[in-house]
Structure 1
Amino acid sequence: MTRRYLFLCPDSRKASGGIAVIYDTVETLNRAGYQAAVLHNSPNASYPGRQTPVPALYTQSYRRAVLPYIERRKQLRERLDLPLERLRGGRLAALDLRPDDVIVLPEYMMREGLDAWRENPIGIFVQNPFSFMTAYMHARAAGHDPQARVSWYIGVSEVCMDQFELLGIGGAHALPVSMNPETFPFRAEKERLITYMPRKRPEEARQIVEALGLRGRIGDYRLQALDGMKPDEISGWMQRSRFFISLQKRESIGFPAAEAMAAGCIVVGYTGLGAREYFTPETGFPVTEDDTAGLVRALEGAVAEYETDPARLDAMRRHASAEINRRYSKAAAEEALLKIWGELDAS
């Protein structure tokens, strides 16, 4: 029987780079002839905006494993909802688990996933190294031995690989994922527009906008929050925007800054740590984490330079876009994924 890879996935219907990566991975593996499916926790789960459908199933095993770790009121509600949901059913078929199914767990679902699937092979797909460290320690505290129980680990960034090394995890696989820079095409002509995504740092975003307004040093540039928008809307704004404020926080890679660079924005702000692998003084204006005053001054300085002599910054943003497309293209990500999977499937 052909080995099957089941990627446990959160059920959020909001746009999420992490969920998009899981769906892209399953799509690529199926195109290459592997048996792979997204494994949701509800029969009516889905992810919006997918152009190509991918195989998807649902299971309640993870939700049952979560029960001991949540407060009593939520426990009681879940214990009532689970049988009712199974009875009602939905768009997804229930998982018929096979002994050789490989369960691929997102890093933050590690402890409960190891509780739920004690016999099946387990792989850990790490997209957030910060939550991975917490989940790893929680799994050990729950009595699991990840070193013995987990068959393999995949990390999507240099920060992930650093965490593996710190924990003594050998033989982990580095997978450079794609933020699909092709969907954020470079545009040379820009408007007097500064965009930002406030979701990770809403209070700080408000402080920055207010400070820029009070100081009056960005001239007639307009500020636009990119919040609650669809991916194609975000792409459109970034293509129009000359500057982008990066408010990334505790990232593995950090897609927003990379998307903005691909679209030709001059990026100023935080790397979120993980974006250090591409967000450098050669591709933008990285600022020390949490230094709000430093960010405001760096943006004002970049605007002033562009208004005086834009040549250096135009060259910077062209270089940044080329680097993002070279490092994080869909083709490069798929090639790396299939090379890794060839090794995993043969083991």
Structure 2
Amino acid sequence: MIDSAIIHDRRGYEYPWAEHAAHLISDRDLRPTDHLVLPEIKAAQLARILVPRGLKYSIFVQNGYYLRDRDRGCTDDDVDHAYQNASAILSISEDTSSLISLHYPDLTSRIVRVFCSVDDSVFNVDGKKRNLVTYMPRKNGAHAAAVVFALKKRLPPGWEIRAIDGMNQTEVAALLKESRIFMSFSGLEGLGLPPVEAALCGNYVIGYHGGGGREYWASPNFEEIAVGDLEAFVRRVEARAHLLSNSVDDLAELEPGMARLRANFSKANELDALQRFVDRLKEDPPSTATPLPAVGSTPIRLQKRMRLGWWLALRRVRARKRPSA
């Protein structure tokens, strides 16, 4: 068991869209022996505070294309300073690891590959397929609109196209279980999960891997389209739809790929990677931090006060969750 807690950017904030049992603390609760894991987009800002204090931290890079992202007032030097002083750099994908090494070749030995899990009790095949193409319009929306416009004229009779937008996880999974083709318009992604979820629901996934998805983008479950090649995109989806219209609804050829995805995105794989990270920290030199200032002194400032709007919104969410008498 790993003793851990969450510090949010805004003091007192809780995620209203996800249930969790994680312990929430504030920056006032930090101990000299604590080890912080920072998101890459906050690393430059927070490292300027943590390094002078002697507090140890690692950086979790969920998107290698965001390495230079930082808060207003931070510079490229601040970004470099954050990575140079990190105990470890957690990477979500092979593509992200390569990008970290590209920017910081001298820090390659600090990279720890981690994995995320996809709940296969939610994303799976239940045998309710119909002639449906699904996609998410949020990424590369202009590409998606152009492809959909063309496909409406070219898909075989009886086929439908549905956008997955503004839905919760249960609704997304239900639609993916019905569809037979999922179109991926991923942008620059650290590791895009919607294509994985679609494939686990028995879809043929056609489109962009976004960089991070390259490691799992294997035929027949996935078909790659070069970014911007909209004609090829339309013709490949059209061809797949015609094949599926003239064949028995048999997912046998997809099962080996689905099995690989279930193994790669399993909770066990995720926990094994986190344990490797914790074991790595045991080899790290001890913190040089001194006890944090007592009450009445100037505390370490990692968090902002929650805005009134957020506070009121959370009260409404919690009220809706409260069981009735």
Fold match (TM-score > 0.5): yes
1:37 aligns with 2:12: no
Alignment match of 2:145 (pick from 193, 197, 206): 206
Q: Which residue of 2 aligns with 1:338?
A: 275
Gaps of 5+ in 1: 1-31, 60-94
Residue by residue, what CA displacement relative to the aligned partner does 1:139-185 show, whole Å, maximum 9, x if unpaired?
54238534541111110100111123222122211112213333201
Gaps of 5+ in 2: 285-325
1:314-325 matched pairs, under 5 angstroms: 314-325=251-262
Distance 2:177 2:261 in 1: 15
- Opposite residue 303 of structure 1, the aligned amino acid is A
The Cα RMSD (Å) is: 2.2
Distance 2:211 2:130 in 1: 29
Q: What is the TM-score of this pair, normalised by structure 1?
A: 0.74
Superposition deviation, residue 51 in structure 1: 3.6
Q: Which residue of 2 aligns with 1:277?
A: 215
1:221 aligns with 2:159: yes
The alignment partner of 2:161 has SS state of strand
Distance 1:332 1:139 in 2: 36
The answer to whether the 8 A contact 1:126-1:153 is kept is: yes
Q: What is the TM-score of this pair, normalised by structure 2?
A: 0.78
Q: Which residue of 2 aligns with 1:260?
A: 198
Query: Residue 231 and residue 345 in structure 1: after superposition, are their counterparts in 2 closer, same or farther (change >3 A)?
Result: farther
Structure whose alpha-carbon radius of gyration is higher: 2
Q: Which residue of 1 aligns with 2:95?
A: 159
Distance 1:143 1:331 in 2: 33
- Opposite residue 141 of structure 1, the aligned amino acid is D
Q: Which residue of 2 aligns with 1:149?
A: 85
Query: Residue 125 and residue 304 in structure 1: after superposition, are their counterparts in 2 closer, same or farther (change >3 A)?
Result: same
**Greater RCO, 1 or 2 (C-alpha within 8 Å, sep 6+):** 2
- Opposite residue 29 of structure 2, the aligned amino acid is D
Residue by residue, what CA displacement relative to the aligned partner does 1:187-230 show, whole Å, maximum 9, x if unpaired?
344011111111112222222221111x3333221111111111
The alignment partner of 2:31 has SS state of coil
The alignment partner of 1:117 has SS state of helix
Distance 1:181 1:123 in 2: 30
1:52 aligns with 2:52: no
1:289 aligns with 2:227: yes
Distance 1:305 1:139 in 2: 53
Query: Residue 144 and residue 289 in structure 1: after superposition, are their counterparts in 2 closer, same or farther (change >3 A)?
Result: closer
Residue by residue, what CA displacement relative to the aligned partner does 1:279-305 show, whole Å, maximum 9, x if unpaired?
123322111122222211110011111
Alignment match of 1:123 (pick from 58, 74, 78): 58
1:195 aligns with 2:134: yes
The alignment partner of 2:254 has SS state of helix
The alignment partner of 2:180 has SS state of strand
Distance 1:38 1:338 in 2: 18
Distance 1:121 1:310 in 2: 57
The alignment partner of 1:259 has SS state of helix
1:124-139 matched pairs, under 5 angstroms: 124-134=59-69
Residue by residue, what CA displacement relative to the aligned partner does 1:34-70 show, whole Å, maximum 9, x if unpaired?
22111112234222343432112245xxxxxxxxxxx
Q: Which residue of 2 aligns with 1:327?
A: 264
Superposition deviation, residue 306 in structure 1: 1.5
The answer to whether the 8 A contact 1:253-1:275 is kept is: yes
Distance 1:143 1:274 in 2: 22
Query: Residue 346 and residue 238 in structure 1: after superposition, are their counterparts in 2 closer, same or farther (change >3 A)?
Result: same
The alignment partner of 1:187 has SS state of coil
1:173 aligns with 2:132: no
Q: Which residue of 1 aligns with 2:307?
A: none
Q: How many aligned positions are there?
A: 277
Query: Residue 280 and residue 144 in structure 1: after superposition, are their counterparts in 2 closer, same or farther (change >3 A)?
Result: closer
Residue by residue, what CA displacement relative to the aligned partner does 1:250-292 show, whole Å, maximum 9, x if unpaired?
1111000000001111111111111011112332211112222
The answer to whether the 8 A contact 1:212-1:218 is kept is: no
Q: Which residue of 2 aligns with 1:68?
A: none
